[in-house]
Amino acid sequence: MVGPNLEGGVPPGPGVVDQPRVGVDEWVANVDERREAQKGLTGLVRRAWEGVPPAGRLVILLGPFAIFPFFANEGNLYRYGLITVVYALLALGLNVVVGFAGLLDLGYVAFFGFGAYLYGIMASGHSGHHLQAEIAIPIAVVAAALVGLLLGLTSWRLLGDYLAIVTLFFLQAFVIFVNNANGGPSDFSYPFVGRVDLTGGANGLDQIDPLNFFGYHITTTKGYYFYTLISLALLMTMLYFVNKSRTGRAWRALREDPLAAEVMTMPVNRLKLLAFMFGAGTAGFTGTIFGAVQSGAFPGDYDVGLLITIYAIVILGGLGSIGGVVIGALVVNGAPELLRSSSNARFLFYGVLLLALLVAMRPWYRPVVVLLGTIAFGAVVRVVVAAAWPRGTAGHVQGGGAFGRALDHWVLIPTHVDRIAGWAYFVLILAALVLTLVRGWWRTIALIPTLYLASFVWENKLVEQVSGATRLILLGALLVVIMNVRPAGIFGTSRVEIV
Amino acid sequence: MNWSLFFGELVSGLTLGSIYALIALGYTMVYGILKLLNFAHGDVYMVGAFIGFFVLQWLGGPLTTAVTGWLAIAIMFVVAMLGCGALGVGIEIFAYRPLRNAPRIAPLISALGVSIFLQNSALLLWGPQFRSYDTFDLIGVKSYHIGRNFFISNIQIFTIAASFGLMAVLTWLVARTRTGKAMRATSFDREAAEMMGIRVDRVISFTFFVGSALAAAGGVMFGIVFGQIFSLMGFTAGLKGFTAAVVGGIGSIPGAMLGGFLIGLTEAFATGYLPGGSTYANLYVFALLIAMFLVRPSGLLGSPVIQKV
Amino acid sequence: MALLELRDVSRAFGGLQVVNGLDLEVGEGEVVSVIGPNGAGKTTVFNLITGIFRPDSGEIVFDGNTVSGLAPHTITTRGIARTFQTLRLFLNMTVLENVMVATYGHTRASLVESMLQLPRSRREDKEVRKLAQEKLAFFGQRLMGYRWDQPAYSLSYANRRRLEIARAMATGARLLLLDEPAAGMNPVETHEMTELIGKLRDEGGYTILVIEHDMHVVEGISDRVVALDYGVKIAEGSFDEVATSPRVVEAYLGLRTAQTK
């Protein structure tokens, strides 16, 4: 007999061949698709994307990068193109450590710096050596991986949380070291060789040679751009293969359940170490590129700020998602660049607010109500304040443009703003937190003064430091929000977790 | 043997160590109860120092105050501790609580985000420049000495004594009160504790409150002892505080104290005695951390965790 | 010589002696059931055998070689695999991948080889895939065909238990440790599990050590039964001998019942 016969109310005995039970098993088999289909447009895009063969996906992702140089000038190519690709490479390496193997590596950019500095020591006017790239690069990569090995071995017995702290400390140590290892009086005096200027100290290691492959020097931004892009494409391809292979499966198993993996023949600690070393090597490789591109290695480049940026890329792109990293790099690198000018930043800020409103509030009339309400509220407040306290509106919006001028008449810009701005910032944070606690129409109503306050804080405070502190503030907030809303990252697939 | 240098570094180390110990306590308590590395903790310490600073200013500034010197200091401490306690609770509610059942890495990333957010908010609002506590005139620094080589100032005595005092209160709290018992139970097995009727959310909030308050106390103390604070002080201090917690045995309160002193002394003696001392002092602390991991991963007073399969 | 021998194995946690001087032997091709009340130390014995914990004293010998003290992944590669009382599958990996990944210890392709898709890597992948499909075929049509590419979390409970066994089989083990394989199953599924264990021994050639509470299963599968209580062996023999032994009855039901029986 084939298939269950439930007519008699008696379940079939064993030995009955189990065919997909229509209805029940279809549901089970489709559970994966139903999870995605729920999201409407996003689900459609995702399924279309998964239908494209991998090679095609690579072309779609990197195609725009390949043609970008023909549309951009030198400056933009460097800022938006080369830096993005470099960050993508870095993020890809970190993705292996964090996304594949689940290790929190907080010293990652130290390996990046290590690669740059080591390359500089091997090939620069500063050090006097001029090794060719085909020798120097492998040395840098292997050396970085070895340092990763040593670092990983120290927390061998508890690779995990402790690795986070060891690596963070390593980054600090690295920064201190390269800032001071210039052979000067505050530096070490080494046995046999005495004082050595290894890193140029706070001024950095300058005059790094361009990459020199068998006599061919890469000297143009375009040249480095394509070199980096090709490296990125190759790495993405190789990681794609790894994901489907023995090691990739083992990494995924270890991320799922390290204990079960260990008991299923996988040497968990060794695999973690391998991932860690792989990340270190990738970072070292990217370091050689960066050092050559900048013709120098400077301590300030390899610090916590960069670490957060790369983490943001990995998180945004989705832990474990190879393609997502590229998009993450675009977003995370592109946005701050756009933020450099106040008027651009302003567009971005209000634009994101608007977008968030539209996306988060479902019935269409709600965002409209909020928007109109905010404008009205602002206008009223402005009029009242102008009458009661003229100094409150005497200042002017920074940056110009039509939008800026319009805002000038709407937002409160007091002339001596510092104290108030500080308190306003504090109140804004409280208001935002309160917003997450209330629901329904209360939330809609509370949004109105909050948005006005946000605009106030932006125009009076945040806009000053757009490329510095503000950027990092927003990045930090972004990390917290993403983790709360979508822990797998934007392009990662939502995972079922063993609690 | 330069005894005055030795004793000088010893006292320095103990003073610094007391501050690290206070930070370490917060880390160790939170890790014990949530298995979370609260990266934002160091920045809470920094906020505490700044709150103390602003209270001082509000009371009339570092040289004279509206109330007597020691009262002003006391007010600074209380306000900073309460304020940061609230901050800590807020951070837990908004950045960590929603992620209690998320993959391990999510709260860690969130913590990183909070840390960056706090640090740069401070930078934005208060600038990168150093702010002077300069409470020396206010308190009236007095230096005591034993023999020809051992000197200690009243501020240093105060710091070490206050730290010990706070740690003693904490130990009493955890060992003898019902809340303390609830904390221990929750850190042992959160689900079981909940089923036993313990309000786990409240216990966790309380833990964060206490830990953050201690960090704030450390921050104000730092300002008093060293005279200056700055927006980025939380980062390295937090790092060392966590190192102290780990070295002493994470999850162990006496361990955090011990670890704090050890780190402080290492830093002080490295500055005084080792090559490249003051520049590379942090490197030596790092080396200590590595050594501890190699020799005794569970820390000096910690116990290895047993995982039930 | 027995395939698996535990010689005077002891293990304590804190002040609690969980396993106390245990001697146990499992011969090749046997199915041995381990029974005992909760807390008797049964799962701890499994943990000791698979290397998750080291014995405080005593020795564990598998196929003539000492395995106590080795790392778990080494022990499993040598031929001992287990399932878990509380099911520990790799939920976000597909059914096939769950089984494929357990062959790690017997494959050699390195990371670099996989990156560059060198011949050994490709060849091993094909072999491993085939092996996984064979192991899954053991369970009939349930885990075949379209199921291979389904994520493990989409499986029903009974299928998850079967998948865990398939995964253990893929490690190339000769000895399977099944920790309460029929837990949470209805009578039909329990009956199937009983038959499956028989099939594992007869067709698969496995030696099996089973922890089980359901006495029907124990009766149906066991060549021998071992009863534990407080970490000590209190009875050993055929099912009937053990089930009626007064010490066993006392352990489960208390002294009075033992005395009245």
CATH of the domain at C28: 3.40.50.300
Domain boundary among C139, C170, C201: C170
Domain boundary among C170, C194, C211: C170
Lowest mean pLDDT among A318-327, B15-24, B35-44, C246-255: C246-255
**Alpha-carbon separation of residue C259 from B126, C137, C246 (angstroms):** 80, 49, 8
Q: Does B37 touch chain A (CB under 8 A)?
A: yes
- Quick one: C7 and C65 in the same domain? yes
The residue range of the domain holding B97 is 3-141+149-295
Residue C8: inside a domain, yes or no?
yes
> Taking a contact as any Cβ pair under 8 Å apart, which residues of chain B between 124 and 163 contact chain A?
124-126
* Mean pLDDT of chain B, nearest integer: 86
Residues from chain B contacting residue A158 (CB–CB below 8 Å):
293, 297
- Quick one: C74 and C59 in the same domain? yes
pLDDT value of residue A5: 37
Question: What is the mean predicted confidence (pLDDT) over C79-86?
Answer: 92
Q: Do residue B306 and residue C47 have CB atoms under 8 angstroms apart?
A: no
What are the residues whose beta carbons fall under 8 Å from the beta carbon of A109, sequence distance 6 or more? Answer: A90, A171, A283, A302, A303, A306, A307, A310
Q: Do residue A249 and residue C141 have CB atoms under 8 angstroms apart?
A: no
| Overall domain count for chain C | 2
| Overall domain count for chain B | 1
Question: What is the mean predicted confidence (pLDDT) over B88-102?
Answer: 88
Kindly compute the dihedral angle of the four CA atoms of residues A293, A297, A301, A302, in this order, to the nearest 10 degrees.
Answer: 110
pLDDT value of residue B278: 72
> Taking a contact as any Cβ pair under 8 Å apart, which residues of chain C between 151 and 210 contact chain A?
151, 153-156, 167-168, 171, 188, 191-192, 195
Q: Do residue C43 and residue B306 have CB atoms under 8 angstroms apart?
A: no
Residues from chain A contacting residue C115 (CB–CB below 8 Å):
238-239, 241-242
Q: Does A478 touch chain B (CB under 8 A)?
A: yes
Q: How confident is the model at residue B307 (pLDDT cuts 50, 70, 90)?
A: very low
Residue C51: inside a domain, yes or no?
yes
Domains of chain A: 52-340 (1.10.3470), 344-466 (no CATH)
Residues from chain A contacting residue C105 (CB–CB below 8 Å):
265-266
- Quick one: C130 and C157 in the same domain? yes
pLDDT value of residue A328: 87
Domain boundary among C170, C186, C219: C170
Helices (H) and strands (E) in chain B, counts: 12, 4
- Quick one: C72 and C185 in the same domain? yes
- Quick one: C179 and C74 in the same domain? yes
Q: What is the DSSP string of B44-88?
A: HHHHHHHHHHHHHHHTT-SS--SS-HHHHHHHHHHHHHHHHHHHH
- What does the pLDDT look like over C181-197, one tens digit per residue? 998 889 998 999 999 99
- What does the pLDDT look like over C27-81, one tens digit per residue? 999 999 999 888 778 989 999 999 999 999 999 999 999 998 899 999 999 999 9
Residue C154: inside a domain, yes or no?
yes
List the single best residue of A104, A156, A314, A480 to mutate versus B (max B Cβ within 10 A): A480
- Quick one: C24 and C96 in the same domain? no
What are the residues whose beta carbons fall under 8 Å from the beta carbon of C128, sequence distance 6 or more? Answer: A246, C100, C103, C107
Q: Do residue C156 and residue A253 have CB atoms under 8 angstroms apart?
A: no
Radius of gyration of chain C (CA): 19
Radius of gyration of chain A (CA): 27
Residues from chain B contacting residue A461 (CB–CB below 8 Å):
124-125
The residue range of the domain holding C43 is 1-79+173-261
- What is the residue type of B4? S
What residues pair up with C24 in beta bridges, in sequence order? C6
- What does the pLDDT look like over B36-88, one tens digit per residue? 888 899 999 999 999 999 988 888 776 666 677 778 888 999 999 999 999 99
d(CA C103, CA C39): 33
- What does the pLDDT look like over A230-243, one tens digit per residue? 999 999 999 999 98
- Quick one: C235 and C248 in the same domain? yes
Q: Which chain A residue has the Cα nearest residue C85?
A: A260
Q: Which chain C residue has the Cα nearest residue A264?
A: C102
Which of these, B261, B270, B288, lies nearest to B17 by C-alpha position? B261
List the single best residue of A26, A249, A496 to mutate versus C (max C Cβ within 10 A): A249
Residue C131: inside a domain, yes or no?
yes
- What does the pLDDT look like over B123-174, one tens digit per residue? 888 888 888 887 777 677 778 887 777 888 888 888 999 999 998 999 899 8
What are the residues whose beta carbons fall under 8 Å from the beta carbon of B187, sequence distance 6 or more? Answer: B32, B33, B251
pLDDT value of residue B304: 64
What are the residues whose beta carbons fall under 8 Å from the beta carbon of A360, sequence distance 6 or more? Answer: none
Residues from chain B contacting residue C83 (CB–CB below 8 Å):
none
Size of interface A-C (CB pairs under 8 A): 136
Q: In what order do the strands lie in the sheet with C65-66?
A: C16-26, C4-13, C57-62, C65-66
Q: Do residue B110 and residue A468 have CB atoms under 8 angstroms apart?
A: no
- Quick one: C260 and C178 in the same domain? yes
Residue B83: inside a domain, yes or no?
yes
Residue B267: inside a domain, yes or no?
yes
Question: What is the mean predicted confidence (pLDDT) over C114-143?
Answer: 90
What residues pair up with C11 in beta bridges, in sequence order? C19
Q: Does A176 touch chain B (CB under 8 A)?
A: yes
Q: Does B146 touch chain C (CB under 8 A)?
A: no
Residue C85: inside a domain, yes or no?
no
Residue B304: inside a domain, yes or no?
no
Residues from chain A contacting residue C140 (CB–CB below 8 Å):
17-18
Residue B8: inside a domain, yes or no?
yes
Residue B59: inside a domain, yes or no?
yes
pLDDT value of residue A355: 75
- Quick one: C8 and C127 in the same domain? no
Residue C3: inside a domain, yes or no?
yes
Q: Do residue C92 and residue A495 have CB atoms under 8 angstroms apart?
A: yes
| Residue C257 scores a pLDDT above 70 | no
Residues from chain A contacting residue B297 (CB–CB below 8 Å):
155, 157-158, 162
Residues from chain A contacting residue B103 (CB–CB below 8 Å):
102, 487-488, 495, 497
- Quick one: C178 and C73 in the same domain? yes
pLDDT value of residue A392: 67
Residue carrying the six token digits 């200590």: B288
The CATH code of the domain that includes B33 is 1.10.3470
List the single best residue of B35, B57, B116, B288 to mutate versus A (max A Cβ within 10 A): B116
d(CA B22, CA B221): 10
- Quick one: C247 and C179 in the same domain? yes
- What does the pLDDT look like over B203-232, one tens digit per residue? 999 999 999 999 999 999 999 888 888 888
- Quick one: C60 and C4 in the same domain? yes
Q: Do residue A476 and residue B108 have CB atoms under 8 angstroms apart?
A: no
Which of these, B53, B8, B75, B40, lies nearest to B222 by C-alpha position? B53
pLDDT value of residue A19: 44
> Taking a contact as any Cβ pair under 8 Å apart, which residues of chain C between 206 and 235 contact chain A?
none
Kindly compute the dihedral angle of the four CA atoms of residues A383, A386, A389, A395, in this order, to the nearest 10 degrees.
Answer: 130
Q: Does B89 touch chain A (CB under 8 A)?
A: no
Residues from chain C contacting residue A262 (CB–CB below 8 Å):
52, 71-73
Q: Does B309 touch chain C (CB under 8 A)?
A: yes
Residues from chain A contacting residue B294 (CB–CB below 8 Å):
154
**In angstroms, what separates the C-alpha of B266 from chain A's closest C-alpha?**
15
Q: Does A467 touch chain B (CB under 8 A)?
A: no
**In angstroms, what separates the C-alpha of A26 from chain C's closest C-alpha?**
10
Q: Does B306 touch chain C (CB under 8 A)?
A: yes
Q: Which ranges in A295-364 belong to alpha helices (H)?
A: 304-317, 322-339, 342-360
Q: Which chain C residue has the Cα nearest residue A250?
A: C101
Size of interface B-C (CB pairs under 8 A): 5
Ordered mean pLDDT values, 10 residues apiece, chain A (499 residues): 38 42 46 50 68 82 83 78 92 90 88 93 82 88 94 72 81 87 72 73 81 81 89 92 92 89 92 92 94 87 86 84 87 72 72 74 74 82 77 66 70 72 83 79 80 80 71 82 75 57
Residue C86: inside a domain, yes or no?
no
All chains having 3 or more CB pairs closer than 8 angstroms to chain A: B, C
Residue C87: inside a domain, yes or no?
no
Q: Do residue B309 and residue C13 have CB atoms under 8 angstroms apart?
A: no
